[in-house]
């Protein structure tokens, strides 16, 4: 069977990586198409995947619309030529319209219920929509849920073991505390109207954390000179190794907050609107703390509380065990689901 996978974001490369390898081991042909966004192409190269580049990220709503037309038109022509049996994508906006026109089934994997615009132009055309079971909206007969998170497709213990050599690469001794900050560009379609930390608070949080250990910053946007000493000098393919040994994460990326929960690391997520999965990770597991962009002072107070908590690492590893006992290996589930769908 022939499977087409559209990878438009670095997190999507991680999500599909193990499944692509397993499908190929099972004898299936996998075609990869990609979007040039952040380090997406570099990750695909690191994974040894060949791919066809369909578009490059553009800014603003007009840019997103222009890119969508470019990406979908190229995808339509490629799918018409290659005739895949099925097409897969996170969010799914690029694949569903071509799939509908060509009569090719499409499976959308998504976890962002408040991406109302992109969901409205995607979900009606999808063949199946697969979401974590914490997704708060019932999407009808085409909706399939599973007991997991996107991040468990690549950070489940069956799929990931952190490499401690990342510590020596950064000049950090084993056991020394360090903290990870993440700032985003708010340029995705689901980020329209979003906002996070103020520039002043970005620096305030960094300076407070610096009192307790090293601080590393990863950012989609340019930063003032005051942040240069915090910039991470590590390959993008090793970011999860870095996260696994961090003492605390704080930032505007819901994905990285959820990744930290999977790795047993305390996380503080700040954004105008939340995510259903980080909400569950707070309410059910007490591992991620969600704050809006108007609650930055409360987020600062929570950060200070966590910094003052004895045996924080041990406490979070116990919470991690509880979470993993309730959730599945998402790659194993996804591989089986797609193969059964095609039979």
Reported as type and span, the H/E element at residue 107 is strand 106-109
Can you state the angle between helices 276-283 and 254-263, rounded to 10 degrees?
40
Taking the C-alpha atoms of residue 90 and residue 42, their distance in angstroms, rounded to an integer, is 19
First-to-final CA distance of the chain:
9
Whole-number pLDDT of residue 185: 62
* DSSP output for 206-226: HHHHHTTSEEEEEESS---GG
Is the Cβ–Cβ distance between 127 and 99 less than 8 Å? yes
Dmax over Cα atoms in the chain, in whole Å? Answer: 60
Is the Cβ–Cβ distance between 328 and 146 less than 8 Å? yes
Taking the C-alpha atoms of residue 165 and residue 43, their distance in angstroms, rounded to an integer, is 19
Is the Cβ–Cβ distance between 94 and 6 less than 8 Å? yes
DSSP annotation of 144: E
Is the Cβ–Cβ distance between 129 and 113 less than 8 Å? no
Full pLDDT tens readout for the chain, 343 residues: 999 999 999 999 999 999 999 999 999 999 999 999 888 999 999 999 999 999 998 888 888 889 999 999 999 999 999 999 999 999 999 999 999 999 999 999 999 998 888 899 999 999 999 999 999 999 999 999 999 999 999 999 999 999 999 999 888 998 899 999 998 764 444 444 444 588 888 889 999 999 999 999 988 777 778 888 888 877 788 999 999 999 999 999 999 999 999 999 999 999 988 899 999 999 999 999 999 989 999 999 999 999 999 999 999 999 999 999 999 999 999 999 999 998 8
Q: Which of 24, 12, 1 is nearest to 89 (CA)?
A: 12
Distance of CA 307 to the CA centre of its chain: 26
Whole-number pLDDT of residue 200: 86
Whole-number pLDDT of residue 194: 46
Is the Cβ–Cβ distance between 287 and 320 less than 8 Å? yes
* CATH numbers and ranges of domains, the chain: 2-156+328-342 (3.40.50.2000), 165-326 (3.40.50.2000)
Give me the phi and psi of 89, to 5 degrees please. -165, 150
Whole-number pLDDT of residue 221: 75
Whole-number pLDDT of residue 224: 78
- The sheet carrying 143-146 orders its strands as 52-56, 29-36, 2-7, 86-90, 106-109, 128-132, 143-146
Whole-number pLDDT of residue 60: 81
Q: Which of 199, 174, 177, 183 is nearest to 250 (CA)?
A: 183
The token pair that represents 328 in the structure block? 């599945």
SS3 291: strand
Whole-number pLDDT of residue 197: 81
Please give the angle made by the CA atoms of 162, 166 and 168, to the nearest 5 degrees: 135
Task: Tell me the CA distances in angstroms from 106 to 130, 163, 239, 246, one per residue in order.
Answer: 11, 36, 30, 38
Taking the C-alpha atoms of residue 234 and residue 169, their distance in angstroms, rounded to an integer, is 8
Q: Which of 284, 301, 293 is nearest to 252 (CA)?
A: 293
């Amino acid at each position: 069977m022939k499977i087409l996978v559209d990878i438009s974001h670095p997190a999507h490369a991680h999500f599909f990586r193990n499944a692509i390898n397993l499908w190929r081991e099972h004898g299936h042909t996998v075609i990869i198409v990609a979007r040039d966004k952040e380090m997406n192409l570099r990750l695909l190269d690191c994974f040894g995947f060949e791919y066809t580049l369909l578009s490059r990220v553009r800014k603003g709503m007009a840019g997103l619309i222009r890119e969508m037309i470019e990406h979908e038109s190229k995808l339509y022509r490629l799918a018409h030529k290659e005739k895949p049996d099925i097409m897969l994508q996170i969010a799914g906006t690029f694949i569903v319209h071509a799939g509908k026109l060509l009569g090719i089934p499409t499976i959308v994997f998504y976890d962002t219920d408040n991406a109302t615009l992109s969901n409205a132009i995607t979900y009606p055309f999808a063949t199946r929509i697969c979401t974590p079971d914490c997704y708060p909206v019932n999407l009808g007969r085409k909706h399939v849920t599973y007991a997991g998170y996107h991040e468990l497709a690549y950070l489940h213990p069956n799929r990931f073991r952190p490499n401690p050599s990342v510590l020596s690469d950064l000049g950090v001794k084993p056991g020394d505390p360090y903290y990870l900050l993440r700032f985003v560009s708010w340029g995705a379609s689901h980020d329209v109207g979003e906002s996070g930390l103020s520039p002043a608070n970005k620096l305030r949080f960094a300076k407070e954390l610096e009192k307790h250990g090293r601080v590393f910053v990863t950012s989609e946007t340019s930063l003032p000179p005051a942040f240069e000493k915090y910039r991470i000098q590590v390959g993008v393919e090793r970011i999860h190794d870095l996260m696994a040994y961090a003492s605390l994460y704080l930032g505007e990326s819901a994905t990285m907050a959820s990744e930290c929960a999977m790795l047993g690391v305390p996380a503080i997520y700040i954004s105008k609107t939340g995510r259903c999965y980080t909400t569950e990770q707070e309410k059910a597991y007490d591992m991620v703390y969600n704050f809006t962009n108007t609650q930055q002072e409360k987020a600062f107070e929570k950060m200070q509380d966590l910094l003052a908590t004895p045996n924080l690492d041990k406490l979070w590893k116990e919470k991690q065990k509880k979470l993993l006992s309730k959730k599945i290996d998402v790659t194993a589930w996804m591989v089986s689901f797609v193969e059964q769908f095609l039979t």
